[in-house]
Amino acid sequence: HDALPILPYSQNQIVQEATKIPQRAFEAYVKGVQVGPRDESRVNYLKNALRLYADVTGGSVYPQAAFELGRYYMNHGNWKDATEYFSKLQKKDPNYAEAAFYTSLGYAKLGDYGRALATIVPLSSDMPLIGVYNNAGAIALQAARENKNQEDKTRLLSQATEFLSRAAESAPEDPMVHFNYGYVLFLTAKFAEAADQFQKVIKGDQQNGQAYFLLAKSLEKSGKNEQAT
């Protein structure tokens, strides 16, 4: 006989899930996660699981099914539908933090920076992770660039600086974090500090043309014309 595959869940967990979730909804969910991650039938099974769950529970959302649908659409680059399903999860649900992170990323990709920030900022206290700080800072930075109101722009740049400084402290070897932090320092006219960050980027990524350009501009505005040239 062929060996049975090792499942990512223990038998106990499967029994617990099966007993607290309406049976037909659970069966549809299991069928959905068993097919390939890019198989179109996955969507039908998971949407069916959501519908069957809502029918029995008075309209409640089946969080695991919503999360898997979000992942399916995200993997296909469909951020509109991915964000719709990720945002259905609530704080009490399994996978909430990961779903909220992807929700904020989805809103940012759709250009809705206000909702992106509103989703990710609370995560920064619940989950003080480098990725959360970096994304929160990058979203605040992008929102500042597109905001015409000077008071709002200043507030968003300050918020971006705070998040990105934390990310840079926690990830001294991450070029992307240092680039984002250097860029916000550049925009807030802290040119010498910005140059330090861009030098760290180049140390880790010597092909980064944007970092070289902004380093030269930072040095120039710091009065170091010879180094800039």
Please give the model's pTM, rounded to 2 decimal places: 0.70
- Mean pLDDT, all residues of the chain: 86
| Strand ranges inside 68-210, DSSP E | none
Residue indicated by tokens 């933090």: 97
Give the pLDDT score at 5: 44
Average pLDDT over residues 193-214: 91
pLDDT of residue 12: 52
Helices and strands of the chain, counted as H and E runs: 13, 0
Residue 22 above 60 pLDDT? yes
pLDDT for 120: 87
What is d(CA 141, CA 183) in angstroms, rounded to the nearest whole number? 9
Residue 107: per-residue pLDDT:
92
